[in-house]
Amino acid sequence: MALAAWVPYPESVRVVVVAVIVALCGVRVAGAQDDDRAQYPAFLRNSYFAINLGYVDYAFSDRQLEPGFQALGIAVPHVAARVAVLGHEFNRYFSLQATYMRPVRFVTYTDINSDRSAHHVWTHFGGVTLKALLPVTTRTSIYGEAGLGITSRHGFGTSAAPIVRNAHYASALLGAGGEYRLTPAWDLTAGATYSPSSARGNEPGALLLSAGFRYTMRPLTPDEVRANLQPGVIFPKRALQLEYSTGYGYGVNTFVSKTVPVFWGGNVKVDRGLALHYERNVFHTARIFALDFGTSASTWRSRENHDRFFTLSIYPLFRFTVLRTKPANLFAAYSLAGPTYISKTIIDGQNTGSRFTFQDFIEVGAFVGPRRHAIVSVKINHYSNGNLLTQNAGLKIPLTFGVGYTF
């Protein structure tokens, strides 16, 4: 099919052009500053992420069913995870963090009014909390946290009536626990987190008991910075890339979302797409890891109804150089939770939530040439709101090929 046959409406083209101009203007400004990419950038120093796994207790029962419905069985799995997507330490006593919590498997109601079917209730929790830390010894501390929490429950029903209603509400989010410092950057954590119930939404309270770790990006020592500056090892500083989505290869999305669950699927299939990405490297280690921040402008066409829409995103990118050879450096990259504006919410008749969503992608590719100025890559994409809203059909974008230039 000729490219001109599906090029989107002029509004999307103008958005892409404007986004490119803004990105290039940003390059000019950033390029005038001293950039030491072997050290964490100032805005990330003493920032952290954390992962905790544990037991969640919430009392789902027949009380969540609408009048006139009965379930033969109710399965309430209790394994859950909580992630501090990004936190920042202001000093040794106070930090601010954005968190996301969800059960590993969802509550399931079976055989409702003898329908011999299973129905899932998706419940997710987001939050922004202020955390206060009190040192007890040189390595151990106790903490308390409080802030704003968002609970989002996606229920189910028939075409005529809901059976378990959707629920979406804000509340306090509370927590307490302890930490043990292994190194200046690594801590072991354990604690309890509580999200209150809602009588109006008929949602039970949730208590998570969990343990895990936190990694904090402490400023590197001069010796560590020098170790990251190996002669002859190239980490491209800026990249501009044009990408084309083929409408083929949905099996790859299915494989990494179901068979090997390291990514996400989606109910809405995107058939064609054109995207422009600008990425800037802000940190790298000696040979393997690089942290980039990027921005993208994309225009899409859905597979079923040929709905046309566009997205604008900013995102973090974790890039791993897995092989360095004389002609090329091969890499794998992962980007998640990139804040995104999407121009439509109803696509192929399905509700994707709101105009605010998140972009995620997995990419493999190569920097090619003596100075690694050329890029070739292939990726799969995903857009969804992480079930922070009750409606979240999710967009599945199959194999996408890209070419680009570094400078």
Element (H, E) at 293: strand 289-302
Predicted confidence at residue 14, as pLDDT, reads 41
Residue 159 is given by DSSP the state S
Residue 324 parent element (H or E): strand 308-324
Q: Report the predicted TM-score, pTM, of the whole model to 2 decimal places.
A: 0.82
- Domains (ranges, CATH) in the chain? 9-42+224-406 (2.40.160.20), 46-216 (2.40.160.20)
How big is the CA angle at 140 (ends 221 and 189), to the nearest 5 degrees?
85
Residues 106, 118: Cα–Cα separation, whole Å: 11
Q: Which residues of 182-267 form beta strands (DSSP E)?
A: 186-195, 206-216, 238-245
pLDDT digits (tens, 9 = 90+) for 96-152: 999 999 999 999 999 999 999 999 999 999 999 999 999 999 999 999 999 999 999
Whole-angstrom distance, CA of residue 288 vs CA of residue 295: 23
Conformational region of residue 287, where left means phi above 0, alpha means psi within -120 to 50, and beta covers everything else: alpha
**What b/e sequence results for 180-218 when a residue is b if at least 16 CB atoms lie within 10 Å of its CB, and e otherwise?**
ebeeeeebebebebbbebbeebbbbebebbbebebebbb
Per-residue pLDDT at 252 = 92
Angle among Cα 276, 280, 283 to the nearest 5 degrees reads 150
**Distance of alpha carbon 10 from alpha carbon 79, whole angstroms:** 48
Q: How far apart are CA 213 and CA 211, in angstroms?
A: 7
CA–CA separation, 5 and 116 (whole Å):
47
Report the C-alpha gap between 188 and 177 in whole angstroms: 11
Nearest Cα to Cα of residue 181 among 150, 242, 138, 147: 138
Of residues 8 and 330, the one with the higher pLDDT is 330
pLDDT tens digits for range 248-262: 999 999 899 888 888
> Comparing 33 with 146, which gets the higher pLDDT?
146
pLDDT score, position 28: 39
Mean pLDDT score, 171-187: 97
Could you tell me the maximum CA-CA distance found in the chain, to the nearest angstrom? 72
Q: Which residue has the tokens 């500083």?
A: 237
Q: What is the pLDDT of residue 327?
A: 95
**Which residues contact residue 399 at a Cβ distance below 8 angstroms, ignoring those fewer than 6 apart?**
245, 246, 248, 249, 252, 378, 379, 380
